[in-house]
Structure 1
Amino acid sequence: MLPYGDAQDDWLGLQRSSALRQLLPPHANSNFIGFVQLTDLDGTNFEETASREGLIENMAFSQLQDFIYKSLMHGIIKIAHARGKKIFSSDDAVQRTPKDRVEQLASKITTLVENYSSPNLVRAPSEQAKLEEDASDIIDEIVLLEKDTQVLLEEIGMLRVLASLGLTIGEFTHETRHVLSALSAGILSLKMSSPAAEGFKTLQGNIESLQAYMRYFDKAVTQNSQRSLSVHEIRDLLSDFEQVVSSSLQRQRVNLKIEVKGYDLFVQSSHKPEWASIFFNLFTNSLKAINRAQVAGSILIVAGEVDESRLYLEFIDNGDGISDANKEKVFDAFYTTSTPADALADDEVHITGSGLGLKIIKDIIEDGGGDIYLSVPPEGFSTCVRIEFPRASDEEIPDDLR
């Protein structure tokens, strides 16, 4: 609601606060995105101005400004503290980074051990009390460092999930661009042809394809925002994936065959959007390899159990394959078999051909206790990527999925 949120409006005083540089982390208006929602239907606390642009600056409005400003600053300070950044201009030094804290803690422990190991076993009471106080301080520091480390690990996990979502969005853009091109061509064909029945059928198929992609990726984005962990049956994951890529397979004349050996193949609790990213990245890599080989494309996905505690999934294609010299590099960051994107390439090309896809997939799988590597492909195929992942325990599987 104007004038709040306008580029020139500073109703929270963020621009002024940032300019004063008393709080050092960036916190101008441009550093935030969001909105404030008020519910005061009877106008008990808040009242609009006569021009209906803004609120009358009464006591409730001042309290609202103060509350929002302090809430934002609280978050800014916590983030700066976690990153080891200097917070206030009056601070004597930059906050210690996690690495600094570990090094200082290791030094304290070394000094304490040396003092306790001193051949002089007779100590004055004050000296003994000082050693005990130092030991207590070290224990407190270890507990605090452990808590901060857990927060950092959770943040890294969240960033990994967001990175996988970036891949998913990149693939979505890639696929919808093809469908939209087909839609445009279909509409042009309808304008120039008569009768138009066949053209309408093709147009309807492209629209249904686009709708399928929208549903699949919208679901992935929604689940990603919730970041909920749950168990998934491999057959269900592959079925959803097969439905959404069917139009792409038809368009590129590639045959897909899925073989699932066994039942109740539940993977341990994980993020479903990450599985979407895994499948789509392996799928697009296979399509690129098939296009380079200029062969009648064939993709085979095989899943089953390694033993009672682990499951496997193999993604196999008959593309141009991977040379022996490059097999050790395919999971490295920024390594790609695609043609490097030039400076004028669009964002889609940079995302889908950045060489980060397999690295992110590897991080996802290994973080869940799994493994990914190149295996020997069956006869008639050139590449086999094998994933082994922990199987869900009986306690993890909800009753409604059994």
Structure 2
Amino acid sequence: MTQEDDLYFNIDSRLLLQLGEKLVTNRAVALAELVKNSYDADATQVRVSLKNIKNTGGTIIVEDNGSGMLLPAFRNTWMRIATIDKEKNPISQKYKRQKAGEKGIGRFACRRISKRLRIKSIAITEDGHKEELSAFFDWTAFSPGSDVDKIPVKYTTKLVDDKIRTGTILILEDTKDSWDGWDIRRLRNELTDLISPTTFKDGQEFEEATGKYDPGFNIDFECPEFPTKEERLEETFLRSAWAKLSGNVDENGIATYEIKVLNKVINYITKNHTRIEAFQNLRNAQLEIYFFVYLSNFFKDSDWGLRDAEEIGQSRGGIKVYSDMFRVFGYGEKGDDWLKVDYDRGRSIGGVDEEVSDYLEKKDDRPGLRLFKNHALFGHLKFVKNSNPMLEITVNRERLVDNVAFEELRKFVRLGVDFATVLYSNEVTKKMKLEDQKKEVEEEARKKAEQELRKKAEAARIIAEEQAKKAEEERKKAEEKAKKADLDRKRAEEELKKAEEERRKSEIERRKAEEEQRKKVDELTKKHLIEALRKEEEYIKVEGEARKKEKERRREEEEIRSKIDRERKKSEEIRLQEIEKLIKTEDELRNLRDEEFKRKEEKLERETAQLRVLASTGTLVLILNHELRALVDAMEEMNNNFLSIIKKMPEEEQLKYNEIQEPFSNRIEMVKELGSLLGLTVGVEGREKREWIILPIVESIFHPFNWYFSKSGVDYYINMPNNLRTRKMYRSELVSVLINLMSNSAKAVIGMNDRHIEVKGFEENDYVHIWFLDSGRGLDKSLWEEVFEPFISYSEPDLKFGVGTGLGLKIVRDIINACGGSVQFINPPEGWKTCVEVMLPKRE
């Protein structure tokens, strides 16, 4: 007996798993698909709200003011997998927009984010009234093994007040993932950059005139738990760029470029280049790039400081790609090098594309050494999808298909970067030549000034010596006069002695006469007595004259000595004045030498400081980082091959091997982030002291270990203001301090029942305070100072963070002390076992 009938395919619910969780892995891409649906529904405003999303089980709401859906459209589009509605109706009804959706599966991205979905949509019916449609999806009900068309989706419809506006609200309940501040900032930036900057101009107003214009499309974002500001790049920032490049590929594939210098190195330049050979697979594409040079003179009149600009470049730099008005994810993100500019610059390749090498003014120059890297590029490329059918977006919405059309797209952009690099290299070469000439002139002037000062000093020395010699001669003459006066004094003294001797003799004779008078009282005795008295009076008169001469001699001697002292003081003053002139001249010479020495010493100190930080580990880390990139590339290639093999397996085996492959993919992402952390530690940012914002650096250190912490059951919290900054220090020093303290906290809590870590930051009493708190084993108070000694460690060994060497806290204290701060264990707040406090002086 023969039986004949028709068979039909059944759809297993596992297909929704593949279209949701497996196909769309990036949460931002998933939300972008929902935002695109709002755009296709002629919405002018869409709001994305995240609530209670620090942990799993939160809620995300996507609300727009579009045209909404009625039940027939909901049944035939939303409820139909892989619908071709947008292919049949590629233009929206109200604003005549080119619809963004293609595959008819974007709405299943909801499954990637949450376990349940509620829809409320209000639309206008054919008779002009408004109707509300509500539906509820429990994605957990669509379990593998069940038929999609056998699982009911409850819905209701009802008429509502005509004053209520149209639109759709999607409520994604019971979110599957937790979000932190870093995730929210990244999501906000990606949604901000979702729409092409050339589609709608900011500040443009429109009047209602359906079908004649498009009033624009704005995305609002709110997350009360992480109230970060929108980080849209403003025109004031872009005006600080060195130059702006505009590029265009016309409908015939001919590429043209124009570059305008905004802030000159030497000259303001406007230069054009037209590519002779047409692109075969690229049409109707526009390019705009701003080139940044991170030197202080480019930001001196800007609202943006050099340090802030460099941080923006590291996080937001790159060339983004847009298909029509919406961004193609994966290009222009942090760490993406789709143009291979970082790769070529890192290999020190000196050449550029031959098409623009003729613009080189110095033929032996190597412009590739000055190739602009991704962090110095801010721009976007937009292509018209209908004109470029070979530029296809991958099914997971994260890249373009790698084919000949994509290679031409990359060639178009890279040629523009090489064109700008050649012109910038010409300007830098001119500037270096002018600076060398200036240095030669300055050095010649310095030498000439030094020679003049030496001549003046020598002339002053000769004059001083001559005046000192003259003063010495005057001193000798004065000494001769003093000697002569001394001889006159001695003669006067001898005459005085003789007069004294005569007086004594006269006194003796007088006494003899008196004795004779007493013996002979007669006239003769009287006569002799009178004679003796007369002689005595003569002797007294001679003695008075001698005394008068002595007084005159002493007066003359005093006058001579006063005159000698005045001459000596005058000569000494002249000599001191000349010595002061000589000392002043020598001080000027010494100051010139000291300033030159100080400049060289400061430069040597900066270089020595960098060498100290990098000497022992820098080279090894750079080699490790390079090899790690190669390893990640190999692992990704293995992972892609593994996925290809899995897809060829029977379905019942694919699920088992997918469970093996998913952790492997997660580990690849963790290795990538660890590689980024190595780049932070030894990157160019560490070559000069700056004031660092602490929060993003703390987040960048914890983020690579998210997978390991999640696996180990460790919860961490970062509680500090966005504007908390250090004083000037090397970034590598700050990263080293934070890594050591984070790893100590991690080793302390792993294996404990209560596993919590918190990093807290605040300002108090002219100091910046950073606390590392953990709920781990704690440390006896008697050991709080001992653990800062080298080779002393009480931490438990860990598979991820290794065995403690006893040097971590010693390094932390040395770095903090060198910055004028302190680090110590303090009594932890209630609920915590350990608290390490780092105190740094406020920034100057």
Q: TM-score, normalised by structure 1?
A: 0.50
Q: TM-score, normalised by structure 2?
A: 0.26
